Structure 1
Amino acid sequence: MMTAPHPVSSRPAPAKTALDMPTHVDHAHLRVGDLAMVSAWYQTILGLTAIDSSPSGQTLGVAGRPLLTLTEAKGAAPQPRQAPGLFHTAFLVPDRPALAAWLAHAAHAGVALQGASDHLVSEAIYLADPEGNGIEVYRDRSRADWTYLPDGKVAMATERLDLQALYDEADKGPWGGMQPSTAIGHIHLQVSDIPTADHFFRDVLGLDLMATYPGASFFASGRYHHHVAANIWNSRRAGPRSAGMAGLAEYTLRFDTTERLDAALAALDRMEIAVTRSGRTASLLDPWGIGLRVSA
Structure 2
Amino acid sequence: MVEPTLAGLTALDMPTHVDHAHLSVADLTMVSSWYREILGLRLIETSQHGHTLGVAGLPLLTLTEAKDAVPQPRNAPGLFHTAFLVPDRAALAAWLAHAVQAGVPLQGASDHLVSEAIYLADPEGNGIEVYRDRPRTDWTYLQDGMVKMATERLDLQALYDEADKGPWGGMQPGTAIGHIHLQVSDIPGANHFFRDVLGLDLMATYPGASFFASGRYHHHVAANIWNSRHASPRPAGMAGLADYTLHVSSPDRLDQALAGLERLEIPVTRIGQSVSLTDPWGIGLRLSA
Same fold judged by TM-score > 0.5? yes
User: What SS does the corresponding residue of 1:113 show, helix, strand or coil?
Assistant: coil
Matched, 1:91 2:84: yes
Query: Could you tell me which residue of structure 2 aligns to residue 115 of structure 1?
Result: 108
State the alpha-carbon separation in 1 of the partners of residues 49 and 227 from structure 2: 31
Alpha-carbon distance, 1:270 to partner: 1.3
TM-score, with length taken from structure 2: 0.98
Alpha-carbon distance, 1:11 to partner: 4.0
State the alpha-carbon separation in 2 of the partners of residues 15 and 172 from structure 1: 29
Does the 8 Å contact 2:187/2:210 carry over to 1? yes
Query: Could you tell me which residue of structure 2 aligns to residue 190 of structure 1?
Result: 183
* Alignment equivalent of 2:64, drawn from 58, 71, 95: 71
* Alignment equivalent of 1:219, drawn from 195, 203, 212: 212
Provide the aligned C-alpha RMSD in A.
0.6
Which portions of structure 1, spanning 4 or more consecutive aligned residues, are displaced by more than 3 angstroms?
10-13
State the alpha-carbon separation in 1 of the partners of residues 229 and 138 from structure 2: 34
State the alpha-carbon separation in 2 of the partners of residues 180 and 61 from structure 1: 10
Alpha-carbon distance, 1:64 to partner: 0.5
Which amino acid is 2:81 matched to? H
Does the 8 Å contact 2:269/2:277 carry over to 1? yes
State the alpha-carbon separation in 1 of the partners of residues 2 and 274 from structure 2: 35
* Alignment equivalent of 1:260, drawn from 250, 253, 264: 253
Alpha-carbon distance, 1:14 to partner: 2.6
Which amino acid is 1:45 matched to? I
* Alignment equivalent of 1:286, drawn from 258, 279, 282: 279
Query: Could you tell me which residue of structure 1 aligns to residue 156 of structure 2?
Result: 163
Query: Could you tell me which residue of structure 1 aligns to residue 121 of structure 2?
Result: 128
Instruction: Give per-residue Cα distances to partners, 1:77-117, cap 9 Å, x unaligned.
Output: 00000000000000000000000000000000000000000
Q: Matches of residues 50-61 of structure 1 in structure 2 within 5 Å?
A: 50-61=43-54
Q: Decide which moves more: 131-140 or 13-22.
A: 13-22
Query: Could you tell me which residue of structure 1 aligns to residue 10 of structure 2?
Result: 17
* Alignment equivalent of 1:242, drawn from 220, 235, 241: 235
Unaligned runs of at least 5 residues, structure 2: none
Query: Could you tell me which residue of structure 1 aligns to residue 23 of structure 2?
Result: 30
Instruction: Give per-residue Cα distances to partners, 1:186-226, cap 9 Å, x unaligned.
Output: 00000000000000000000000000000000000000000
State the alpha-carbon separation in 2 of the partners of residues 134 and 82 from structure 1: 14
Does the 8 Å contact 2:22/2:63 carry over to 1? yes
Does the 8 Å contact 2:75/2:231 carry over to 1? yes
State the alpha-carbon separation in 1 of the partners of residues 104 and 259 from structure 2: 45
Matched, 1:251 2:244: yes
User: What SS does the corresponding residue of 2:167 show, helix, strand or coil?
Assistant: coil
Query: Could you tell me which residue of structure 1 aligns to residue 37 of structure 2?
Result: 44
User: What SS does the corresponding residue of 2:282 show, helix, strand or coil?
Assistant: coil
State the alpha-carbon separation in 1 of the partners of residues 273 and 237 from structure 2: 26
Q: Using the aligned pairs only, state the percent identity.
A: 80
State the alpha-carbon separation in 1 of the partners of residues 83 and 32 from structure 2: 17
Matched, 1:146 2:139: yes
